[in-house]
């Protein structure tokens, strides 16, 4: 369930990892495993300067890679950035160490509303600290959607893409959705008034019927192509991640191509996801690992990361330090009323995952 920037300078990343590994001989180390391109440009160097601990830093590009690494062998890592969706699997497998609150003075600054939502995947908030988070919603071309549906287009509602009369017209200018049954099917279920994490096969038949009815009007399912297509005007609507839509908006503005993009968090509610900091049970350097987690919990450290990546963080005290344009953007920091409607996604039993896979295959193929 990768929601992160879908570009990465591999040369620069490899050089950074290599340079930090070389520096590991200089003193104590902490081994960190994170999503690619998912940290501030100077965060690692600042951590070494401020603590004397050298971060040995590696990256991955999917939750499956992360889980495979942690569940099949001793990884050698201390701290990992894991999605909330992966937490139940990692906790059940005994891969994570409970976080010692007495070593976490910054925990008091964590947003209690976010912690309550995260507790759906980490009961009691025992194992994970929020790092960055975001939502799934609708990105759209303001002018093209207005031209097709008029000034009263329901851009604040899932009706925009799940009502056939709307989607049939928007299909003329191009609609894309994530190629992710674990993210799209819960949204369809939620729209139908059903539990987004349902395990009832009958519920999935209803979601399948809805999506098959809409399928002729959807240009494609893809989890990366929509960003560039939205920014250059090749499509007019996409269902995807908040940060990806902001990336499309920024790209269009920088290109000066006249494409105006907006992101909507539907009023009916939408998925919220978290990327979290966790300490591995077999961490070779647990104290250094806790030092790294504590460092990223500092408001003055995490605020620039939010500015750089256009994702909110879980630290209430950091909000005032985030750039005004970022913290006042409801697409990045949703207002309280919108936050109350958000729901988390959960791993489902293998039997239900098989049902979702079959349904998604039918939907993508249109039959």
pTM: 0.85
Annotated binding site: 85
For 75-127, the pLDDT digits (tens) are 999 999 999 999 999 999 999 999 998 889 999 999 999 999 999 999 999 99
Write down the pLDDT at residue 26.
Answer: 66
Assign 243 a pLDDT band (cuts: 50, 70, 90). confident
Assign 72 a pLDDT band (cuts: 50, 70, 90). confident
**Comparing 33-37, 154-158, 159-163, which segment has the lowest mean pLDDT?**
33-37
Write the CATH number of the domain with boundaries 135-271+345-365: 3.40.190.10
d(CA 131, CA 145) in angstroms, rounded, equals 34
CATH 3.40.190.10 fits 10-134+274-333, yes or no: yes
Assign 5 a pLDDT band (cuts: 50, 70, 90). very low
Residue 14 has pLDDT above 50, yes or no: no
Sketch the domain layout of the chain as residue ranges: 10-134+274-333, 135-271+345-365
Distance separating the N- and C-terminal Cα atoms of the chain: 25
Residue 58 has pLDDT above 90, yes or no: yes
Write down the pLDDT at residue 367.
Answer: 78
Write down the pLDDT at residue 63.
Answer: 81
Query: What sign does the CA torsion over 160, 164, 168, 171 have?
Result: positive
Residue 202, C-beta contacts closer than 8 angstroms, at least 6 positions apart: none
**Can you tell me the mean pLDDT for 159-184?**
96
Query: If you average pLDDT over every residue of the chain, what do you get?
Result: 91
Write down the pLDDT at residue 17.
Answer: 44
* Residue 315 dihedral angles phi and psi, to the nearest 5°: -105, 115
Write down the pLDDT at residue 25.
Answer: 55
Annotated binding site for spermidine: 85
Higher pLDDT, 78 or 11: 78
pLDDT > 90 fraction of the chain, expressed in percent and rounded = 83
Residue 39 has pLDDT above 90, yes or no: yes
Tokens 């009958």 sit on residue: 202
């Amino acid at each position: 369930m990768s929601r992160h920037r879908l570009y990465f300078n591999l040369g620069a990343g490899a050089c950074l990892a290599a340079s930090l590994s070389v520096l590991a001989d200089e003193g104590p180390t902490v081994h960190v495993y994170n999503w690619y391109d998912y940290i501030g440009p100077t965060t690692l160097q600042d951590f070494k300067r401020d603590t004397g601990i050298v971060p040995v830093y590696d990256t991955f590009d999917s939750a499956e890679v992360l889980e495979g690494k942690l569940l099949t062998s001793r990884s050698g890592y201390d701290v990992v950035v894991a999605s909330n969706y992966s937490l139940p699997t990692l906790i059940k497998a005994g891969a994570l160490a409970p976080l010692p609150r007495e070593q976490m003075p910054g925990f008091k600054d964590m947003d209690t509303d976010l912690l309550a939502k995260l507790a759906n995947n980490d009961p009691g908030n025992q194992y994970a600290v929020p790092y960055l988070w975001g939502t799934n919603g609708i990105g759209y071309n303001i002018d093209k959607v207005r031209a097709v549906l008029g000034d009263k287009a329901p851009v604040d509602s899932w009706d925009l893409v799940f009502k056939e009369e709307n989607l049939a017209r928007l299909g003329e200018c191009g609609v894309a959705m994530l190629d992710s049954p674990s993210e799209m099917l819960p949204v369809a279920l939620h729209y139908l008034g059903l539990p987004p994490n349902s395990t009832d096969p009958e519920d999935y038949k209803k979601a399948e019927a809805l999506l098959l009815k809409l399928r002729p009007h959807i240009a494609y399912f893809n989890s990366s192509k929509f960003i560039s297509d939205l920014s250059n005007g090749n499509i007019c609507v996409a269902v995807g991640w908040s940060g990806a839509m902001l990336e499309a908006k920024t790209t269009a503005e920088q290109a000066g191509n006249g494409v105006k993009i907006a992101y909507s968090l539907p009023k009916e509610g939408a998925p919220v996801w978290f990327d979290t900091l966790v300490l591995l049970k077999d961490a070779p350097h647990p104290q250094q690992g806790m030092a790294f987690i504590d460092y990223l919990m500092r408001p003055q450290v995490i605020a620039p990361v939010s500015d750089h990546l256009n994702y909110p963080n879980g630290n209430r005290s950091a909000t005032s330090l985030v750039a005004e344009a970022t913290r006042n953007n409801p697409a990045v920091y949703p207002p309280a009323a919108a936050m109350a409607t958000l729901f988390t996604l959960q791993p489902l039993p293998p039997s239900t995952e098989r049902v979702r896979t079959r349904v998604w295959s039918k939907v993508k193929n249109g039959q």
